[in-house]
Amino acid sequence: MLTSYIHAAMRLAKYEILEDKTYYGELPGFKGVWANADSLDACREELQSVLEDWLVLGLRMGHELPVVAGIDLVPEKAG
């Protein structure tokens, strides 16, 4: 489930080439998840690494995480 979530989230990534000719990538809806690198491939790899770290921290701290492609990593607790 986590791998599917990460793949689905990465499909939402937005990239642009900056004035210094480096690549910037971010995931809308994932506050603070961004990357900057010299190539698009390196930017994608860094962005995925940042996302993975962000998710681990969010899960450990009990943060609300975005639902992506119907995948909810933090299902509601049964009352």
Global pTM reads: 0.91
**CATH number assigned to the domain covering 2-61:** 3.30.160.250
pLDDT average, residue stretch 17-31: 97
pLDDT greater than 70 at residue 42: yes
Q: Smallest Cα–Cα separation from 53: which of 22, 30, 78, 28?
A: 30
pLDDT average, residue stretch 54-66: 95
pLDDT recorded at residue 74:
84
Q: Give the model's confidence band at 78: pLDDT under 50 very low, under 70 low, under 90 confident, else very high.
A: very low
Distances (CA, A) of 6 to 20, 58, 77: 29, 14, 22
pLDDT recorded at residue 77:
58
**CA Rg, the chain, in Å?**
14
Dihedral in degrees, nearest 10, Cα atoms 69, 71, 61, 53: -60
